[in-house]
Amino acid sequence: MNSLLFLCNLIWFTACLIVLFILRREDNNQMNTVVNQIKQMSSAQDNIRILFLDYAEPVFKQADDLLSADRPTPFIVVFHAPAWLVAAKTKKWKGHTIIHAQTLNFKSKSMVVIAHKKKYRIYGEVAAYLKFTS
């Protein structure tokens, strides 16, 4: 009886790991596709800093203030907002490349992606990262 329970638990655990692995791989493939699309749209190819930003999230106000200030490192901002707001922020955020999120058909939470060649790192704390790099 104990060995049957152990076997069932082992099978369940293995199935959960496989599902987690598949979901993680799909997320990875989707992010690679988006990063490659952004690389094709921009002139930078090796080291790029991509900021995914949604105007409806609370971090937007802080990110707006930090992006409006002069920054030594330019960002590619994938901005999920109405077209009029994207146009206004394109004028305000000078030195940064603004991409409307609808052109990529990709919706994500606010995050920073640092892409170096074929690898990338994801940072979830947008405001903290922008403050740290300013």
Q: List the chain domain ranges.
A: 2-133
CATH 1.10.1740, applies to 2-133 = no
Q: What is the dihedral of CA 15, 16, 20, 23, to 10 degrees?
A: 60
Token pair belonging to 91: 């004028």
Distance between CA 29 and CA 21 in Å, rounded?
12
Token pair belonging to 74: 């330019």
Per-residue pLDDT of the chain in tens (134 residues, 90 and over written 9): 678 888 999 999 999 999 999 999 998 888 888 888 888 887 766 788 899 999 888 888 888 888 888 777 888 899 998 989 988 888 888 888 888 888 887 777 889 998 887 788 888 888 888 888 87
Q: What is the pTM of this model?
A: 0.80
Distance between CA 124 and CA 15 in Å, rounded?
29
